[in-house]
A and B are shown apart, each in its own frame.
Chain A
Amino acid sequence: MAAGWPTKVSYADGDVFSAANINDTNGTINYIDPTSATDKQVLTRDAASGGKVKWADSPANTLTATGDLYYASAANTPARLAIGSTNQVLTVAGGVPTWAAGSSTFTKIGSTVTFSNVASQTFDNVFSSTYSSYWINIEYIYLATAGGSLQLQLRYAGPTTQISGYYSNSFNMPYTGANASTQVNGGAQTILQSNTNASGNSIGAGNFWFYGVNGVSKDPYYTGSIVNSAAASSVLFNGGTSGTARTYTGFLLKGATNITGSVSVYGVS
């Protein structure tokens, strides 16, 4: 067929119509076999073949999974970026978008742990190399009997509780009266708070940090503060160590009497 618009196609008995009958050499129009496409492809202009049309991938058949993102891997080149993992953020590497761990993020680990009237509460399999440090948020905590201490121990593989060699100092600062420090020098546990409240109606809350529990063997550090409204005091938990280098995996809270509370753990990277 000559170049230009086909103006007329005549059939005679026995004629077989083919792409060659309609494709023109100028690329003005060409025949595309619909059955040669894959599902959800679209027709697009093909500059490389003189402007004829061709089947090409569409967003619908490029984005094949939930969460996929559509982006250009090069100029005029659509591509798919699969969804990242939980808590990853979208960043740029090599000029294209990519998922990566967030920098300096605060990530809640697991669920908030609530416990009621137990002698001890463990938090196991929480420390790992994923985070460089951990923030422990005590939303509330109280003892069965007022006045006793709130104690901390570390846990390692087993899990086993570290029951010796703790060093710490917690500084109890009442709103009136003298301040007092509680020292632990190689003891069986660290004292977070020497005078813990007993009533669930009064706020006993605070937070502390763990450092050096990032999946490698270290003697970790911890520091924080707690407020005890029932005893009208605040406690500066001025830090301590376990005294023993280990790969610690978790921790344990306990009291002089049974404890009730709600605690969340956050990883910081």
Chain B
Amino acid sequence: MTKQIGIYDFETDQQIVRDMTPEEIAEHELGVELDIQLQQEAVSKEAERDALLSKLGITADEAKLLLG
């Protein structure tokens, strides 16, 4: 499906919606890739935290208490 961009011009108070140009699609994909990367990092951090809690034998709430 073609990606679309909404363009609102406050000088004319008009909204147009059109298909993205190849350049705009490429720019948009950069954001999607970054998003995937950030989510993977978040999952990875979560896994590391769970592993550490397991190693210590405490729950997340108990860890919070420890950290004050």
Contact = CB atoms under 8 A, between A and B. Distances in A.
Given A119-B3, A119-B20, A180 B45 contact: yes
Given A111-B13, A147-B39, A188 B4 contact: no
Contact of A188 (B10, B31, B49): B31
A122 interface: yes
Interface in A240-269: 250, 254, 256, 258, 265
A177 B45 CA distance: 14
Contacts of A110: 8, 10, 13
A187 B56 CA distance: 36
Classify the interface of chain B: helix, strand, loop or mixed.
helix
Interface in B25-67: 25, 27-28, 30-32, 34-36, 38-39, 42, 45, 49, 60
Interface residues of B, number: 29
Contacts of B24: 120, 161
Interface string A38-62: 0000000000000000000000000
Contacts of B6: 113, 115, 118, 120-122
B30 to A, nearest CB: 4
Nearest to A183: B38
Interface in A94-114: 109-111, 113-114
A187 B9 contact: no
A260 to B, nearest CB: 10
Given A119-B5, A122-B5, A265 B10 contact: yes
Contacts of B15: 113-115
B52 to A, nearest CB: 12
A254 to B, nearest CB: 6
A125 B38 contact: no
A251 to B, nearest CB: 11
B20 to A, nearest CB: 6
Contacts of A187: 34
A148 B30 contact: no
A189 B28 CA distance: 10
A194 B13 CA distance: 30
A258 B20 CA distance: 13
A182 interface: yes
Contact of B28 (A123, A184, A191, A254): A254
9 closest A-B pairs by CB: A119-B3, A256-B35, A121-B6, A115-B6, A110-B10, A188-B30, A126-B10, A118-B6, A125-B11
Interface of A: 109-111, 113-115, 117-126, 147-149, 151, 161, 163, 177-178, 180, 182, 184, 187-189, 191, 194, 250, 254, 256, 258, 265
Given A124-B11, A256-B35, 15 more contacts: A115-B8, A118-B6, A120-B24, A122-B7, A122-B8, A123-B8, A125-B10, A125-B11, A149-B35, A161-B24, A180-B42, A180-B45, A188-B30, A188-B34, A258-B3
